[in-house]
C-alpha cells in the first residue's frame, strides 16, 4: 500500500511540475515543452496497423437482417445493464459490475460438468463437455477489465470451448484489482498453468497432457498473451496453440481505435469514455499506480514484448470495438517476429461477441473458426 501511495504521489508531482513549468516558460521554451509532450504522446507503432486481417461480414440480405436484429436486441440489453452503475461511486460501481457480469448469463443452458478445484492456490473450475478427452487441457482466463468477471460469468464460452476443442477447460478465478495488483493476476495465471500440466479433472496426472491450449478474452486476452512470453522464457511446456478474443495488448492505450471506435463500442464505451481524452503518457502513469509497474512493461503490455518463438496464435476482434487495433498490432508484430499468428475481424458485433452464443449468428461463425484453428494445431 505504501508503494502505491508513493507512486501515486510521484505521478501527481510530475504532472503538477509539467503544468507549472508550462506557465513559466518563455515562448521559445514553450515550443520545446510542447515538443516533449508530443514525443511522450505520439504513436510509434502506426507501422503495425496494416495488414488489417481477415474480415467476416454477412453476405446476403437475409443474413444481414438476422444479424442486425440480434445485435440491436443485444445492444439494448447491454445499455439497460449499464444504467444501474454508470453514476455510482467507483467502489460501489465495481461491486455492481461484478454482480452484473456474473448474473448476465445466468439463464444460459450449460451442458458441461462443472467441478470446483484449487489450482495451485488459485480458485478454479474444470468445465468438461460430455465425452471430452481429459488428457487435452485448455487454460481459460476470463475478461472483465481486471476488476470483474469470474468462471461463472464466462461459462457460455468455456463450455463451448470444451466442446469444440475436445478438451477439459480449466477456468480460473484469479485475484482482481483493485483489492490486488495487476501482477497478482499475472502470478495466478502462471501458477494455474503449471498446475494444469500436472492435473486433470480426475486428479493428479503423472502422464503428460496430449495437448495443451491457452485462451482468454479482453483483460484475460492480455493475461493469455503475457503468459505465453513467460512460458517461453521459463522453459515450461509450450501450448500447442493460443486464442485471444478482443485482447488488451497495449496497457498504455495508444492504439487509434481506442478513440476512433469509442462511439461504436456499445460494451466498453461506458467504461472508457471518461478517460478517452487523456494522452497516452498519463495512462502510463495511472497504470504504474494500479500495478506497481509501468504500462510499458511487456508483462503489462504484451505488444511491447519480444514476440518471437511463440506458439500459433489466433486473435479475433470486432471491427467496431475500441480494442480492434490492439489485436491488429499484436498479430502484425508477431508475424514480423516469425510467429504463426492470424487476425480475424467481424463487422458490427460487440466486444467479445462470442460470449453471446447462440444469440448472435457471428458467434457460431467465430466458434467454427476457433474449432478449425485448434484442430490444425492439436
The mean pLDDT of 69-89, rounded to a whole number, is 75
Residues 186 and 237 in one domain: yes
Whole-prediction pTM value? 0.86
Residue 247 lies in a domain: yes
**Phi, psi of 128, deg, nearest 5:** -125, 115
- Asked if 125 is an active-site residue, the reply is no
pLDDT for residue 142 is more than 50: yes
Residues 369 and 231 in one domain: yes
Residues 219 and 245 in one domain: yes
Residues 371 and 333 in one domain: yes
Residue 302 lies in a domain: yes
Residues 1 and 118 in one domain: no
Whole-number Cα distances in Å, 127 to 28, 82, 322, 355, 373: 63, 29, 30, 15, 20
Residues 86 and 193 in one domain: yes
Location of C-alpha cell 498504455: 252
Q: What is the pLDDT of residues 269-306, one digit of tens each?
A: 666 555 555 555 555 555 555 556 788 999 999 999 99
Residue 120 is predicted with a pLDDT of: 95
Domain count, the chain: 2
Residues 17 and 126 in one domain: no
Residue 101 lies in a domain: yes
Q: What is the pLDDT of residues 36-51, one digit of tens each?
A: 444 445 578 999 999 9
Residue 107 is predicted with a pLDDT of: 84
Catalytic residue among 125, 163, 321, 362: 321
- The residue range of the domain holding 35 is 1-40
The DSSP code for 321 is: S
> Pairing between strand 113-118 and 199-200?
unpaired
14: confidence class by pLDDT, cuts 50, 70, 90: very low
18: confidence class by pLDDT, cuts 50, 70, 90: very low
Q: What is the pLDDT of residues 100-139, one digit of tens each?
A: 899 988 888 899 999 999 999 999 999 999 999 999 999 9
Residue 320 lies in a domain: yes
Catalytic residue among 67, 255, 301, 351: 351
% of the chain with per-residue pLDDT over 70: 81
d(CA 25, CA 30): 6
Residues 240 and 209 in one domain: yes
Residues 23 and 90 in one domain: no
Catalytic residue among 218, 246, 257, 301: 218
pLDDT for residue 74 is more than 80: no
Torsion of CA 284, 337, 335, 139, to 10 degrees: -70
Residues 15 and 131 in one domain: no
Residue 80 is predicted with a pLDDT of: 75
Residue scoring higher pLDDT (345 or 91): 345
Residue 48 lies in a domain: no
Residue 272 is predicted with a pLDDT of: 57
Question: CATH code at 67?
Answer: 3.40.50.1820
Q: Are 218 and 245 in contact (CB under 8 A)?
A: yes
The mean pLDDT of 146-162, rounded to a whole number, is 97
Whole-number Cα distances in Å, 49 to 53, 259, 346: 10, 15, 17
Residues 14 and 155 in one domain: no
- Asked if 351 is an active-site residue, the reply is yes
Residues 106 and 136 in one domain: yes
Residue 36 lies in a domain: yes
Residue 118 lies in a domain: yes
Nine cell digits for residue 200: 486433470
Residue 275 is predicted with a pLDDT of: 56
Residue 187 lies in a domain: yes
Amino acid at each position: 500500500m505504501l508503494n502505491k501511495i508513493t507512486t501515486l504521489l510521484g505521478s501527481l508531482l510530475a504532472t503538477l511540475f509539467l503544468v507549472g513549468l508550462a506557465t513559466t516558460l518563455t515562448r521559445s521554451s514553450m515550443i520545446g515543452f510542447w515538443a516533449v509532450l508530443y514525443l511522450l504522446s505520439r504513436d510509434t507503432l502506426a507501422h503495425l496497423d496494416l495488414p488489417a486481417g481477415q474480415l467476416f461480414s454477412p453476405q446476403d440480405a437475409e443474413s444481414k437482417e438476422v444479424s442486425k436484429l440480434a445485435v440491436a436486441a443485444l445492444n439494448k440489453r447491454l445499455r439497460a445493464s449499464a444504467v444501474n452503475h454508470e453514476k455510482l461511486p467507483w467502489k460501489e460501481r465495481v461491486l455492481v459490475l461484478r454482480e452484473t457480469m456474473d448474473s448476465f448469463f445466468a439463464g444460459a443452458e450449460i451442458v458441461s460438468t462443472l467441478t470446483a478445484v484449487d489450482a495451485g492456490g488459485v480458485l478454479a473450475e474444470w468445465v468438461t463437455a460430455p465425452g471430452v478427452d481429459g488428457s487435452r487441457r485448455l487454460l481459460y482466463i476470463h475478461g472483465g477489465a481486471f476488476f470483474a468477471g469470474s468462471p461463472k460469468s464466462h461459462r457460455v464460452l468455456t463450455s463451448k470451448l470444451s466442446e469444440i476443442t475436445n478438451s477439459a477447460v480449466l477456468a480460473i478465478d484469479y485475484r482482481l484489482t483493485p483489492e490486488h495488483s495487476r501482477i497478482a493476476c499475472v502470478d495466478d495465471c502462471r501458477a494455474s498453468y503449471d498446475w494444469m500440466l500436472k492435473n486433470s479433472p480426475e486428479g493428479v496426472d503423472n502422464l503428460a497432457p496430449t495437448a495443451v491450449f491457452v485462451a482468454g478474452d479482453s483483460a484475460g486476452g492480455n493475461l493469455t498473451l503475457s503468459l505465453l512470453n513467460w512460458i517461453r522464457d521459463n522453459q515450461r511446456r509450450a501450448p500447442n496453440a493460443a486464442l485471444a478474443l478482443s485482447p488488451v495488448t497495449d496497457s498504455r492505450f495508444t492504439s487509434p481505435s481506442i478513440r476512433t471506435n469509442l462511439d461504436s463500442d456499445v460494451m466498453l464505451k461506458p467504461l472508457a469514455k471518461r478517460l478517452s481524452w487523456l494522452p497516452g503518457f498519463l495512462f502510463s502513469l495511472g497504470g504504474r499506480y494500479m500495478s506497481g509497474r509501468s504500462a510499458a512493461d511487456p508483462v503489462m503490455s504484451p505488444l511491447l514484448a519480444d514476440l518471437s518463438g511463440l506458439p500459433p496464435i489466433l486473435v479475433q476482434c470486432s471491427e467496431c470495438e475500441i480494442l480492434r487495433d490492439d489485436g491488429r498490432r499484436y498479430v502484425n508484430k508477431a508475424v514480423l517476429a516469425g510467429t504463426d499468428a492470424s487476425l480475424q475481424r467481424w463487422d458490427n458485433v460487440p466486444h467479445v461477441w462470442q460470449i453471446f452464443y447462440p444469440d448472435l449468428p457471428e458467434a457460431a461463425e467465430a466458434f467454427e473458426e476457433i474449432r478449425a484453428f485448434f484442430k490444425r494445431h492439436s
